[in-house]
Amino acid sequence: MNSDFQPSKLNPWVDELECAAVRCRDGYSGGSVPQAESISVASVWQLATPDAAELALRNSVDEFVYRRVDHPNARTLATKLAKMHAAERAVVTAQGMSAIVAVAMSQLKPGATVWIGEELYGETSTLFQNSLARWKVQSRVFDPCDASQVERLACETADLVVIETITNPRLRVPDIASVAQATHRAGGLLMVDNTFATHLICRPLQLGADFVIESLGKQVNGHSDGMAGLVCGVDPRRMQEVSATVKTFGLTSSPLDCYLTHRGLMSLAVRLERACANALALAQMLSRLKNVIHVDYPGLLQAPSADVVTRQFSGGFGWMLTFHVELARTGLEKLFKALQPEICFVPSLGDATTTISHPRSTSHRAISPDLLSKLGIEEGTIRVSCGLEPTNWLVERFASALDAIDCSKP
């Protein structure tokens, strides 16, 4: 499978740049157009009459009224991302969790049943199993990568199914088309968290998903200086419900964060190409080391999982990888120190520089130790977000750091 990697064929990125090159031209006449998007910091807009205000608030005219409802920077970003995801509409939110909340609160009622993937970002699991449980929303956990469990879903009832394109942190890849079919047979809607892929690697709406959400502050922004979330959908009515929920619950994005995310979007294709190449090379090297127990990376998967990856992904396998070593907390701290200062411990992902994280103490800290062990998330599980460094340097940096640590002594 590794020999099939063709970074030059990243999900036709020339088209993506053409979409991204459609700058914010509204409001300008003649030949003078700003090369960079402007930031609109207004919180409210002047309107001529009460009738004009009413029309604008009903979305009957293309006007802005109040930042919580909509603002120019969010609209520009949402319009471009809707095109890139082949969506009917997109809504930008304050952050990734806001996007998930917007879908849940707009589509679920008390007594609803939600099937959630057994391996999700920790806060996503907490939202459905704890927070929404107080609203009488019932959660059922299943493995979307297990065909028998997907078939069981199809034979039962679901209002919403939540999975990730690439699971966090073991980087498993469910068959989205199969899960979508099972979800619809169960009478539900499928929401896919596409953060670890972005639209350049996978477009879940084209595989049957009803909603795609992303944490745009990760790879799309790419510089750890902005937070935003995204909801894309194919049903105009349901997307209007999402938009209304964002407005009512105050989940709206900020103009500055949208501006910074838009700036990152412009260079996403070339950044992602390097990051994916770095992740593949690093995963291949780590898989050969004796003191590394196992490496999780979609580009290393064997059939039948590799067949799913080939069908769903375009060009690359992602910039995230996870590896496992026999180290306790003190040993991990020594390893992390050996990688510094160039490669830092950061409880997030998607930066221009390579970073490392520790799921047990960060993203999955709220999950019980027994479940973590069942999922294969141990103390020595290390998640890597690959950046833009020279590939050979990055591979050698990890090799030398691991060589300096005796992984046989936890």
Token reading at 20: 């991204």
Q: Say what the pLDDT of residue 15 is.
A: 55
pLDDT averaged over every residue in the chain? 90
Q: What is the DSSP letter of 38?
A: P
Of the pLDDT bands very low, low, confident and very high (cuts 50, 70, 90), residue 369 is confident
Residue 116: name the closest of 76, 158, 56, 59 by CA: 158
DSSP string computed for 232-296: EES-HHHHHHHHHHHHHHT-BPPHHHHHHHHHHHHHHHHHHHHHHHHHHHHHHHHTT-TT--EEE
Q: Say what the pLDDT of residue 409 is.
A: 53
Give the pLDDT confidence of 33-45 residue by residue, as tens digits: 778 889 999 999 9
pLDDT of residue 345 exceeding 70, the answer is yes
Higher-pLDDT residue of 198, 5:
198
Give the H/E segment covering residue 211: strand 211-215
Return the sign of the alpha-carbon dihedral for residues 57, 61, 65, 69.
positive
Q: Say what the pLDDT of residue 166 is.
A: 97
Of the pLDDT bands very low, low, confident and very high (cuts 50, 70, 90), residue 364 is confident
Q: Say what the pLDDT of residue 407 is.
A: 58
Give the H/E segment covering residue 124: helix 122-126
Give the pLDDT confidence of 112-151 residue by residue, as tens digits: 999 999 999 989 999 999 999 999 999 999 999 999 999 9
Q: Say what the pLDDT of residue 270 is.
A: 92
Please report, rounded to a whole number, the percentage of residues in the chain having pLDDT higher than 70: 90
Query: How many Å apart are CA 211 and CA 233, to the nearest integer?
Result: 5
Give the pLDDT confidence of 66-89 residue by residue, as tens digits: 999 999 999 999 999 999 999 999
Token reading at 288: 């050969």
How many other C-beta atoms lie within 10 A of the C-beta of residue 185? 14
Give the pLDDT confidence of 150-209 residue by residue, as tens digits: 999 999 999 999 999 999 999 999 999 999 999 999 999 999 999 999 999 999 999 999
CB-facing half-sphere around the CA of 24: CA atoms within 13 A: 20
Angle (deg, nearest 10), helices 13-20 and 72-84: 160
The whole-model pTM stands at 0.92
pLDDT of residue 13 exceeding 50, the answer is no
357 φ, ψ to 5°? -145, 165
Which amino acid is it at 89?
A: R
pLDDT of residue 320 exceeding 50, the answer is yes
pLDDT of residue 20 exceeding 70, the answer is no
384 φ, ψ to 5°? -120, 130
Residue 179: name the closest of 242, 254, 115 by CA: 115
Token reading at 327: 């180290």
Residue 140: name the closest of 163, 155, 124, 118 by CA: 118
Token reading at 81: 């991302």
Residue 63 Rama label (left phi>0; alpha psi -120 to 50; beta): beta
Give the pLDDT confidence of 257-305 residue by residue, as tens digits: 999 999 999 999 999 999 999 999 999 999 999 999 999 999 998 877 8
- CB-based contact 141:171 (threshold 8 Å): no
